[in-house]
Each structure stands twice: as structure tokens, then as C-alpha cells.
Amino acid sequence: MAELTLEDIAKQVGVSRSTVSRVVNGSPNVSPEVRLQVEEAIRITGFHPNAAARSLASQRTRVIGLVLPRSVSSFFTDPFFPQLTQGIAVGCNANDLSLSLFLVTNKEDEDKIMPRISRSGMLDGILVQSGRADDPLMERLTNSRIPCVVLGRPFNHDCFNYIDVDNVKAAYSATKHLIDLGYTRIATITGSHGSTVTLDRIEGYVNALTEAGFVVQPSLISKGEFSETSGYEAMKSLLPHKPDAVFIASDLMASGAIRALQDSGLHVPEDIALVGFDDIPLAALTKIRLTTIRQPITQIGSKGVELLIDLIENGSQPPRNFILDTELIVRDSCGAKLRQKK
Amino acid sequence: MAELTLEDIAKQVGVSRSTVSRVVNGSPNVSPEVRLQVEEAIRITGFHPNAAARSLASQRTRVIGLVLPRSVSSFFTDPFFPQLTQGIAVGCNANDLSLSLFLVTNKEDEDKIMPRISRSGMLDGILVQSGRADDPLMERLTNSRIPCVVLGRPFNHDCFNYIDVDNVKAAYSATKHLIDLGYTRIATITGSHGSTVTLDRIEGYVNALTEAGFVVQPSLISKGEFSETSGYEAMKSLLPHKPDAVFIASDLMASGAIRALQDSGLHVPEDIALVGFDDIPLAALTKIRLTTIRQPITQIGSKGVELLIDLIENGSQPPRNFILDTELIVRDSCGAKLRQKK
DNA sequence: TTACAGATTGAGAGCGCTCCCAAGAATGTC
DNA sequence: GACATTCTTGGGAGCGCTCTCAATCTGTAA
């Protein structure tokens, strides 16, 4: 069968195309009887308006894009992204939006995908995961006039609408927690170089140490890149400097760090205490349950969708941002329980 | 500035809309000089054809959907799905397709999403992750005429185009491996009830045992549901029956099982040997490196895209399927190395 | 010179919808 | 009863593209 059109339904009921369109779009200006008849016809035939025609006429597609830049390489290793995606999907479903996924894996992808994203009226708006500060994608995206919400604080943050958590504060409270427990050689394993997330978390770490009167030692700052393996390596490189506690910028890296410590015959938290970041499901399941900073990952996604919808409907001046709360989840890896007993 | 149209470019170069359209679509019937001029104008203006108008006129959207049914609840816990998604995304990028993601989280979602998927001409085709056998979504999808490729063998497999691995053979080889190593009380932890994946893997397990002359003991078959926690529980419930080896239907469940064994003071592989399934990155990183069946996850995705494109272009009769190869990756958890030494 | 094939181009008719405008029906007001 | 007001409805003009068909323009052979 050929696809049904508004016109077909109209003919069937004996009204005009316009009236059927009104019913479909929930316009109030239709008499109750006619509305009922039309609705019945739509139900029986299973008619559904053609999306392309709708978009063309209304200049709205009801599709938003989620862009994960090249610099976000850990989409399929770090549970953070699937969870974020899930949050976004839920937000889309709730608002009758479709979600287009743009996973940029290399330069060619970027060149191919960009025009599809920015022009061409195929998307009403986009959500971008903020990656590295110097990611050229961000600039290309700003240049295109499409409404855009950044997930995570972008570098030039006053030009963008974004959703983020207060990474400085979160990292501060993680580090402060370790200080309060009496550790004195507190190291950190950072996220990948050049992202605001990483910068902010380092800042929070430094703030807490400074405030407590500690000297920040570069040898106790080890660079990871959000992967399990990088956590392993970073921990290994930290060991010669004898830290007694480590704040680690992601739970995935923390699990790598734990592995490194096990390989070296060290115990958590007796020999070295750890605090992670994210509170991924794994964090509560490792043998040594991870003390960590819980991010409202799903909420970041749904809040992002919400803001984007508002932008699409009401314009985006001036740029807005929402900073969501984090929470310190105390489990075993920080040694809090151990120390209490003493 | 208002969005540019074909007509604008045409006017600028002094040709007709049709000619510009020909250039944009790479039609051969354009004189080289004109083509060059038009291309130049397009380049300078940054013109990009409107997707909605294109879809409307051509009845093609160059968008495919990825549907993850409600019964696939582990999208954001099991790395399998992100990796699959990645494979699909790469396939899409390579073929200039956009990917729409439909994460069905509950019944209302399904009702809202279905019409958007099946009619409305917003998708050229869909990829569906096969979930439970009785998933009503599958039927609804078949009824809609949209080209469709199932990832994983669907229940009524002769009605569908699908991509799968030979789960029976893979599970057979995993179990056989344990048998060959001399284990005699080989248990299994299955995937979630009612999926073909689970059924097939059980079948392979049973086949191997039967072939070796073992009696299949129901008490040695424990039901999981692909989550870490379910692996933990399943392993715990298996312990009273004293298995000496376990074939586990996913690596994620295997990591739960390892945790259960650690909690019980048992050692892998000395006390109990394990073989997992999937070969997720984690498998090589656990303290006891996991012997497992490697699935070509990314390839399943890209092959799915390939088949779907073919279906869209050339119709889908008769249904086709591709069965990809798996590979047994021998690491430490099966005790092979231990046994060699003896 | 005429004819004809082949290449190149343009015009026109949609694709199925939205949205504006005006016509007509129904209701209210004095 | 005449007029204004509101509600309901239909028609038409696009949205920006594709695709068919016919027109024009070459070049070549008769």
C-alpha cells in the first residue's frame, strides 16, 4: 500500500486537509464531533504524518543531535558515556524528540559529519560533549547558527550554554576528605590533558591542599587519560614518591590504580587510600568498595535536553548554564571506617 | 542570513536549479565548465542542500535507526552495547548515513517511539538489537514495511535479516576447552531467560558435555541476566554444588562471579576455573585475566549497516543472514597454563 | 545542405505538509 | 431584526528539493 497522506484521511472523513492537520497538531479550533471522526479515521488507518514534509513546511525536525567529538575517545570503555546517552534518550522520549548520534572517530568523520550537523536543517539543536579545550569542532559548531548545549564546561564558557557539575568544588571535597582523615602525602591522578574537567579537578585538589597548609608537589600529580590502563600506569609512576592517599579523576582510572597496587602487593586503604570520581556502578562492586564523588550523570543528560528545548523554542540570549550538585560517597577505599575504629 | 537554496546558487552562477541539483548529486550529465563554476559557488557560499526537502522529494532520508528494545536493559552497564553502537556509527559515517538512536526504556516509550520508527518516512531502515523472544516490538517492527536488520538471531529467524555469531558453536568450544583441561563438574551461568543468545549458549554447553559423555546436571546451570550482580548471585548459588569450572555467558557476569569467589575465599583458577564470553576490554585487565570467547562486536555493527544498506537499495527478498566467527582467547582464568605446568 | 544521434540544459509538476487568509456558520448584543 | 463577534472550515501558496520530459545545442555522416 502506498503511504497515507493527510489528504487521504480528509477525503475519508469528508473534511479538508487543513482540518485533519489541525487535529493531528492538537489545534483547539476544531469542533468536537469533527475531531472525534478524524481521530477515529487516523486510528483505524494507522495514519502517521510524513516527517520530511512536516519538517520542510514547519522548519522544525523534532530531532536533536548528540555529538561526541574525536577527543572523547572513551565512549565505549567508560560507562560515563552510555549513562549520559541514556539520560539524554530519556529526555528525548519524554519530549517526543528523536536523537541522532554523531560519534566522531577521526578527522575525515568530522569533515563529513559537520555539514550534516550544522546546516541542512536536519537537526533542531545539538548537545555536544565538551572535549579538549582546543577541539576545532567547538568552534565550527559555534559558527553554525544551530542551538547548542555543551555537556561539561567548555573553555570559552561565557559564549556557550552548558550543563556541568562544579568540578573544582567536588575535587576539593574529595581531597579535603582525605586530609581530614589524616593523610599527608596526597597525590592525584588527573584526566586527559587539556580538558576543563581535568583542569577544574586539579584546581580543587590544589585548593584543598593549599588551604590545609600543604605544599603541592608536582611529583604527586600524575597524568592519566580517563582509561583503565592509564590509571594503572599513573599509579605505578606515583609509587616511587610514596603517596599515602590518591584522589583519582575517574572511577575507571581508579580501578586501574587498584590493579596497579595489587600488582605491587600494596593494600587499599591500609597502604594507600583512594577516592575516585563518577560513581559508576562498578565503584560499589570492586573488592575494595570505592569512595568516590557521585556525579548526577543521567541528570546532566536530561537537563541538557531540557535546556536545549528551551533554546530552540525561545532563543538563546544570553547564554545560560546549570551547575549540578555532586556528592561524596564514602565507602571503603578511603579508609574512613578503618580510621574511625582507631 | 536566510538559509541558501538550490535556486540561489543557480541564480548566482546563471544556470537552472536542475543543473545545480545535478552537480550536487554527482550526475554525469553536466559539462565540465559548468560543474566547476557551480562547485565553486557552492564552496564559497557554503551551501548545503536541505535534508527535509531532499527526503520529501526523493523518499529517502539517509538516516537509519538503531533500536534497543526494552528487554535490553543493560545498555549502560554492559560495554557490549557501546561497542556495538560504535561499530554501527563507523559504518554509518563511512556510508554518509546518520544514525538515530532509539533507547526504549519502558512501555510508554515503546508506544511513543514505534510510530516514529515505522511510518512517517523518517528512517530508511532500522537495526534492532534482538532482545527476548517474546518481545512484542519485534512483531510490530515486522509489520511495518521498513527494511530491518536484526543484530543477534531473532526467534523466528527465517523471517528476518540478521547478523549473528554462532553462539552454539562458541559455547561448545568454551565448554570443550574446559573438558579438555580435565574438569569434570562444569557448570554454566546463563544469560537472561528467553533470549536466543542464552538458549544457544546453553545448547552449546549441553552439546559439549553430552559429547564427552557427561550427564548434564540442572543444579550446575544457574540463571543470570547479563549484569555483574547477577553473575555474583549466580556464582554464589552454584557454590554448594561444587563445580570445578564454570562457563559464563558474559564477561561482565564473569567479573561478578570472580567477586563472589573472592568473597568466598576461593581462588581462580586453582579452585574453580572460568571461561567468559565477549572479550570486553575489562577481560584482559582483571587481576585474574579472563579466558573468554571473543565476539567481533564492532564488526557485527558494521556488517549490520552494510546489509541494511543493501536491503534499502535492492530489496530484502529472501531474508539473509551472516554468521560471524568467534575465537577462544585463552588467558589465566581457565587454568590452562597451570595445567600445562603439571 | 539536411538529418540525426548524443550531450547538455531548463521548465514544470510534484513530494506531503503547515500556515495564512478569507468565507461561512453560529452565536451574542443592542 | 440588524449587526458585530467568535468559531469552524476550506483553499491556496509555499517549504526546497528531485525527476521526467522536452528543448536546445553540438558534431558528424549522408
Distance A2 CA to D10 C1' (A): 25
Cross-strand pairs, A278: A294
DSSP secondary structure, B214-245, as one string: PPP-GGGEEE--SSHHHHHHHHHHHGGG--SE
Best mutation target, B8, B60, B101, to test chain A (most A CBs within 10 A): B101
What share of chain A in percent tops pLDDT 90?
A: 60
**Per-residue pLDDT at A1 exceeds 50:** no
**Per-residue pLDDT at A339 exceeds 80:** no
Distance B19 CA to C1 C1' (A): 34
Residue-wise pLDDT for B215-237, tens only, equals 999 999 999 999 999 999 999 99
**Per-residue pLDDT at B341 exceeds 60:** no
Q: Which residues of B touch A96 (CB under 8 A)?
A: 112
pLDDT, mean of residues A111-130 = 83
pLDDT of residue A272: 97
User: What are the structural domains, with CATH classification, of chain B?
Assistant: 6-49 (1.10.260.40), 63-165+297-324 (3.40.50.2300), 167-295+328-341 (3.40.50.2300)
Nearest nucleotide (CA of A56 to C1'): D15
Q: Look at the alpha carbons of B7, B13, B18, B23 in this order and tell me if their dihedral is positive or negative.
A: negative
Residue-wise pLDDT for B20-32, tens only, equals 999 988 888 888 8
Could you say which of A86, A99, A113 has the minimum Cβ distance to residue B75? Answer: A86
User: A281–B228: do the CB atoms touch at under 8 Å?
Assistant: yes
User: A121–B3: do the CB atoms touch at under 8 Å?
Assistant: yes
pLDDT, mean of residues B291-313 = 94
- What residue type is assigned to position B315 of the chain? G
User: A76–B99: do the CB atoms touch at under 8 Å?
Assistant: no
**pLDDT band at residue A28 under the 50/70/90 scheme:** confident
Euclidean distance between CA atoms B119 and B125, whole angstroms: 11
Could you say which of A99, A105, A256 has the minimum Cβ distance to residue B100? Answer: A99
Grid coordinates in use for A217?
Answer: 608537589
Nearest nucleotide (CA of B29 to C1'): C8
Could you say which of A49, A76, A229 has the minimum Cβ distance to residue B83? Answer: A76
Place of cell 574446559: B178
What share of chain A in percent tops pLDDT 70?
A: 96
pLDDT, mean of residues B199-218 = 96
pLDDT, mean of residues A218-224 = 96
pLDDT of residue B71: 63
Q: How far is CA A22 from the centre of its chain?
A: 37
Place of cell 579472563: B290
pLDDT, mean of residues B281-296 = 89
pLDDT, mean of residues B190-210 = 94
pLDDT, mean of residues A7-26 = 90
* Separation in Å, CA of B217 to nearest CA in chain A: 30
Nearest residue of B to residue A64 by CA position?
A: B100
Nucleic acid strand D within 7 Å of B44 CB: no
Residue-wise pLDDT for B234-276, tens only, equals 999 999 999 999 999 999 999 999 999 999 999 999 999 999 9
pLDDT of residue A284: 85
Q: Which residues of B touch A258 (CB under 8 A)?
A: none
**Most confident among A312-326, B108-122, B317-331 (mean pLDDT):** B317-331
Distance A10 CA to D26 C1' (A): 51
pLDDT of residue B326: 97
Q: Which residues of B touch A86 (CB under 8 A)?
A: 75-76, 103, 105
**Per-residue pLDDT at A341 exceeds 60:** no
Burial of residue B155 (CB within 10 Å: 0-12, 13-18, 19+) is middle
Cross-strand pairs, B101: A99, B66
pLDDT, mean of residues A20-36 = 88
Euclidean distance between CA atoms B269 and B183, whole angstroms: 11
Half-sphere CA count of B287, side-chain side, radius 13 A: 20
pLDDT of residue A217: 96
Nearest nucleotide (CA of A34 to C1'): D8
pLDDT of residue A71: 63
Q: Which residue has the higher pLDDT, A305 or A336?
A: A305
**pLDDT band at residue A76 under the 50/70/90 scheme:** confident
CB A300 within 8 A of CB B275: no
**Which nucleotides of chain D does any protein CB come within 7 A of?**
7-12, 14-20
pLDDT of residue B1: 47
**pLDDT band at residue A120 under the 50/70/90 scheme:** confident
- Spatial CA neighbour of A85 closest among B93, B88, B82, B114: B82
Place of cell 561448545: B172
pLDDT of residue A297: 93
Residue-wise pLDDT for B79-102, tens only, equals 888 899 999 999 998 898 999 999
Q: How far is CA A38 from the centre of its chain?
A: 42
Average pLDDT of chain B?
Answer: 89
* Separation in Å, CA of A64 to nearest CA in chain B: 10
Average pLDDT of chain A?
Answer: 89
**Which nucleotides of chain C does any protein CB come within 7 A of?**
7-12, 14-20
DSSP secondary structure, B181-194, as one string: TT--SEEEEE-STT
- Residue B208, Ramachandran bin (φ over 0: left; ψ between -120 and 50: alpha; else beta): alpha
Could you say which of A48, A259, A285 has the minimum Cβ distance to residue B115? Answer: A48
Nucleic acid strand D within 7 Å of B57 CB: yes
pLDDT, mean of residues B53-82 = 85
pLDDT of residue A105: 81
Distance B6 CA to C7 C1' (A): 23
Distance B261 CA to D20 C1' (A): 72
pLDDT, mean of residues A139-167 = 85
CB A329 within 8 A of CB A320: no
Could you say which of A75, A89, A121 has the minimum Cβ distance to residue B51? Answer: A121
pLDDT of residue B73: 64
pLDDT of residue A255: 92
Contacts of B235 (CB under 8 A, 6+ apart): B189, B222, B246, B256, B257, B260, B261
pLDDT, mean of residues A300-325 = 91
